[in-house]
């Protein structure tokens, strides 16, 4: 049997004040998620499982979409350790306990975790393990996830090197469609409720 998984990247606040770790969604971000829900209402296929990452932004996105999602701990965002709550600019500048040189290492070495949290390699391994543990009869699954988790899932599907992690752009409220069978995953791009090539959503 084929597992059909749709990962939806959580809504996000706009601007340069985006911080590492979980952040509260403002009304503008939630409004975009509600608008998406209205657009795809009645077009999404029935899902056997509906999941959300534990972060507040993922749970609030799922609520805004009207999804009755169960929290899946394995889909949690990357642990940013000491950088949690800081902006990219603050870390790059070494402000407030930031680490400019550590940031450069983290962006180029998937095994590095200068913040004391989780490395890219660790996060990718965790997400790959969750994907590969899905039972073959799981059917259709919808999940709201953070950008790092969507990136990791794409790398697993394509069997791409971990160095490709930062080259996968995942805009807020974008969908990644994966189909899996026999331990092999395929990537299919499209809108949240896009038809597949065989007309099957």
Residue-wise pLDDT for 42-52, tens only, equals 777 788 899 99
Which H or E run includes 9? strand 3-9
Pairing of strands 175-181, 3-9: antiparallel
The domain locations on the chain are 3-79+118-188, 80-116
Average pLDDT over residues 141-165: 97
pTM over 0.85: yes
Which H or E run includes 5? strand 3-9
Pairing of strands 3-9, 184-188: unpaired
Contact between 166 and 107 under an 8 Å Cβ cutoff? The reply is yes
Residues in the chain: 201
CATH number of 3-79+118-188: 3.40.50.1240
Angle at 133 between CA 196 and CA 51, to 5 degrees: 60
- The secondary structure of 142-176 as a DSSP string is EEEE-HHHHHHHHHHHHT--GGGGGG----TT-EE
Residue-wise pLDDT for 19-32, tens only, equals 788 888 889 999 99
């Amino acid at each position: 049997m084929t597992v059909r998984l749709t990962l939806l990247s959580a809504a996000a606040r706009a601007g340069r004040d985006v911080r590492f770790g979980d952040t509260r969604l403002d009304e503008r971000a939630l409004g975009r998620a509600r608008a998406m829900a209205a657009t795809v209402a009645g077009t999404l296929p029935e899902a056997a499982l509906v999941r959300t990452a534990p972060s507040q932004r993922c749970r609030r996105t799922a609520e805004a979409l009207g999804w009755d999602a169960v929290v899946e701990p394995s889909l949690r965002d990357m642990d940013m350790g000491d950088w949690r709550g800081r902006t990219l600019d603050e870390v790059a500048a070494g402000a407030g306990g930031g680490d400019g040189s550590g940031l450069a290492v983290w962006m180029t070495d998937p095994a590095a975790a200068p913040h004391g949290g989780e490395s890219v390699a660790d996060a990718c391994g965790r997400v790959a393990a969750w994907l590969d543990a899905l039972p073959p009869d799981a059917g259709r699954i919808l999940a709201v996830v953070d950008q790092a988790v969507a990136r990791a899932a794409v790398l697993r599907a394509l069997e791409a090197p971990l160095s490709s992690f930062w080259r996968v752009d995942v805009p807020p409220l974008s969908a990644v469609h994966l189909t899996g069978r026999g331990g092999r995953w395929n990537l299919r791009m499209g809108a949240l409720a896009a038809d597949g090539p065989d007309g099957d959503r």
